[in-house]
Amino acid sequence: MRLTRDEVALDSGAHGICVPLIYTPEEARTLVKSAKFPPRGNRGFGSPFPMEKFSGESTQEYLLQANDALVTIVQIETKEALESVDEIAKVDGIDVLLVGPFDLGNNIGYPILDGIMHDELHAAIAKINKAANDNGKRTGIYCTSGAQSKEYADKGFNMVRLSIEPLG
């Protein structure tokens, strides 16, 4: 796994990346290595100009804080990732476990039909939240209503994205 587009985004001043469809702890470790500069990773150093333009920091200032400042989000939305979510959550450098409920439901055999989540999908989401909390990570989830967003916020999710269809 190489972060080609994500590296360009990071080199252009992005302060975080979100990577979908993580399957294994090894992929999560490779992601961190690709996103972090040496000695924590093997990210190449692109142009020094964007960070100076966006943040006002010198190249040296940027490099000294970049590894700690980068927010690295992995989407837990596969059966394989769910099965190893505790180990993924232990990966140093992963900051947020983001749940994609529709893909997760499909991948574990419990698709969301007519807007209703199966109990097994609810249990899977709770397992992800627990793994994150047990390992000092944040959690996020995509929601489809204000009520659902409140439910997950009340359950301790740190990021809630509300996606709804436009009226009309």
> Tell me, what CATH number does 25's domain have?
3.20.20.60
168 assigned to some structural domain = no
Instruction: State the chain's mean pLDDT as an integer.
Output: 88
Q: Round to whole Å and give the CA distance between 34 and 136.
A: 22
Indicate if the pLDDT at residue 165 is higher than 70. no
Q: Round to whole Å and give the CA distance between 67 and 70.
A: 6
Report, as an integer, the average pLDDT of 19-38.
Answer: 93
167 assigned to some structural domain = no
Question: According to the model, what pLDDT value does residue 55 have?
Answer: 65
pLDDT digits (tens, 9 = 90+) for 35-89: 898 888 888 776 656 666 666 777 777 777 888 889 999 999 999 999 999 999 9
26 assigned to some structural domain = yes
Q: Round to whole Å and give the CA distance between 106 and 44.
A: 36
147 assigned to some structural domain = yes
Report, as an integer, the average pLDDT of 88-108.
Answer: 97
pTM for the predicted model, two decimal places: 0.87
For the chain, the domain total comes to 1
Which two tokens mark 6? 């994500």
Q: Is 43 exposed, middle or buried (0-12, 13-18, 19+ CB in 10 A)?
A: buried
4-8, 109-113, 157-161: which has the minimum mean pLDDT? 4-8
Burial call 56-80: b when 16+ CB within 10 Å, e when fewer: eeeeeebeeebbeebebbbbbbbeb
Q: Round to whole Å and give the CA distance between 106 and 109.
A: 5
Report, as an integer, the average pLDDT of 117-146.
Answer: 97
Angle among Cα 148, 84, 38 to the nearest 5 degrees reads 100
28 assigned to some structural domain = yes
Structural domain span for residue 8:
4-162
